Amino acid sequence: NYLISKNKTVFINANDPIQVKNTSKANRFSFGTNTNTDVLIDFIKAQPFVKCLFNNLNIQSQLIGDYNFTNISAAIAIGNFFKVKDIDIKKGIENYIPTNNRSQIIEKNSNKIILDAYNANPTSMHAALLNFEKQSGYKTVILGDMFELGEEAKKEHQNIADLAVNLDINQVILIGANFYKSKNNSKKVLQFESFEAFKTDYNLSLIQDKSILIKGSRGMALER
């Protein structure tokens, strides 16, 4: 509303109807997969890294998961708006390798780890799980509590636990006070009330030849 009142530019994802609706009076610059956007970006694949097409340039990122396509699209749109050359946009995205526990790919011993422990909320957790299900081989998820959900905490943790159980994932490890309270009858679920309990009671040597997703809120510090 402030930007609208000052006639400033708002960057919007044209594929998000809520953004489109709430910026109808704004001076907006749009991006997305719709042909009527200011910047058209086509999603190609995410196996596991996102690849997209912009102005006849194939861009191969180092970001995993189709949910990162929107982040890449926003970066392309802002670069385009500020007259960054297309080839420099491509180089910038392709040269970015995530660090700081943000969708990092780690090959450790015989395991392939997706470390996404910088932050978590129900939306990002849901997207990460759906993307991880597409991985091959034996799949283990290690999920930590999502913080700052208030009265919705119990319901949202149960929803994520239920989703993980129902996906094609072999083992589900839940860590934290909220996940510990979720109700699960599946034999593939292990629950620990704290990280310390997990570290003490779980035999890490059992994790061999597996694909692993590690995701939780910053306060859980699951990169440990």
Distance from chain centroid for Cα 189: 22
Half-sphere exposure of 204 (CA within 13 A, CB side): 10
pLDDT digits (tens, 9 = 90+) for 180-198: 999 999 999 999 999 999 9
CA distance 109 to 191: 25
CA distance 112 to 210: 6
Q: What order of strands is seen across the sheet that includes strand 189-192? A: 104-108, 111-116, 211-215, 139-144, 171-175, 189-192
Is pLDDT of 100 > 80?
no
Beta-bridge partner residues of 39: 31
pLDDT digits (tens, 9 = 90+) for 128-182: 999 999 888 999 999 999 999 999 999 999 999 999 999 999 999 999 999 999 9
Predicted structure pTM score = 0.80
pLDDT digits (tens, 9 = 90+) for 5-55: 999 999 999 999 999 999 999 999 999 998 899 999 999 998 788 999 999
Beta-bridge partner residues of 192: 175
